[in-house]
Amino acid sequence: MIKLVLLAIALAGLLLFFYLKSASSGPLKVGAPAPTFSLLDQSGQLRTLDEFKGRWLVLYFYPKDNTPGCTKEACHFRDDHSALQQYGANVVGISVDSPAAHAQFANKYRLPFPLLADTSGLVAKSYGALINLGWLKLAKRHTFLIDSDGKVAKVYVNVDPNSHSDALLSDLKALQE
């Protein structure tokens, strides 16, 4: 029994170490250039940051397709997609799930925007939005509002999936005035 408790303590310590290590690189700061990316979307199309130059970009990272919070967030972006486009903003979601998982998720909820597969976690890491527990990688629920010049205009780290899209719309309007 003591061996089992010691093993559990050691495992918890190891998980905490990897979590803290992944959390130490914090998200990008406002004004920083957005790191480039080249990832496959749910249709197998290669998407890059460059294709959004000259437009605003809502780049949101999320942990996992088909989970309650991620589904709520994606559906709110879907419902507000037209309003976001009226402000010249495109929406792109990124997680470490595969293109096939993204395709199923996007089809199930009729998502009108690309979901990018960052299966290695390297893009999430470059944005400071990666939880890396060694064998398990997940994107943190962070969003980056990127301006038409490719610079980070706003960073959201404590995202409420229920109201995040509304907050983005409000901030987008304020930043463009």
Paired sense of beta strands 89-95 and 56-61, if any: parallel
Residue 70 annotated in active site: yes
Of 135, 95, 137, 138, which Cα lies nearest the Cα of 117?
95
Tokens of residue 74, six digits: 């994606």
The phi, psi pair for 55, rounded to 5°, reads -130, 160
Catalytic member of 40, 58, 70, 130: 70
Residue 140 in contact with residue 55, Cβ under 8 Å?
Answer: no
DSSP H or E stretch at residue 89: strand 89-95
Q: Which residues carry out catalysis?
A: 70
